[in-house]
Chain A
Amino acid sequence: MENRLKVLRAMRDWSQSDLAEKIEVSRQSVNAIETGRYDPSLPLAFRIAEVFDLPIEEIFVSPTRRSSKAI
């Protein structure tokens, strides 16, 4: 799933390890989510949103909304 994790991290000057520590997962997981290789579960997506203090949809791009825009 497309997301703005990298940009949001950069804005806060957080490394992948910093974010991993905040959401209590491995750096490997943060990397996989950030690069779109893994879609987080809803609880983890909420945790990420809470850490950034943003709604989920401002972090993750809805695949359906994205495809309907493409049409």
Chain B
Amino acid sequence: MSKSPAQRRYVRRVLIAMLGYMATLFLAEYLIDQHGLTGPLAWLVALLPGLCVASVFWAIGRLLIEETDEYLRTLLVRQMLVATGLTMVVATIYGFLENYRLVGHIDAFYLTILFFAGLGVGAAVNKLTIGDSSC
């Protein structure tokens, strides 16, 4: 199945974001963890990997705006609803379990990973219910 121009731009943006993420993550590990960087510069370096991953959400938003095919847009919205629902349900339930010290603490950025996994679940739901999935 060929990708629409908007989907191709989305893939390119995500690839760039992931390359930026890997580069800035290594930089943060090197400067903060290994060389004990502190102060405002440590804040800046620590923010960079998160901003790179957050730019994927921007890329998803751009895909929604730039995709001219309304059916593909519908598939993407459904996919995102599944991902958002899954993430919020897990975050809420886990938050209470953690609050009552029944489970250990998990870093908040794992929710982002869960959201991306949720997009995969959303694509599967689209495939099962409509018979198609977007990207």
Binding site for B on A (CB under 8 A): 24-26, 28-29, 32-33, 37-38, 40-41, 44
Contact = CB atoms under 8 A, between A and B. Distances in A.
A32 B68 contact: no
Interface of B is mostly: loop
A25 B130 contact: no
Contacts of B99: none
B96 interface: no
Q: Which of B4, B68, B69 has the most CB of A within 10 A?
A: B69
Given A28-B72, A37-B130, 5 more contacts: A26-B72, A29-B71, A33-B71, A37-B132, A38-B74
A71 B122 CA distance: 38
Interface of A is mostly: loop
B1 interface: yes
Contacts of B132: 28, 32, 37
Given A37-B130, A37-B131, A28 B68 contact: no
19 contacts: A25-B68, A25-B69, A25-B70, A25-B71, A26-B4, A26-B71, A28-B1, A28-B72, A28-B132, A29-B70, A29-B71, A29-B72, A32-B130, A38-B71, A38-B74, A38-B130, A40-B70, A41-B70, A44-B70
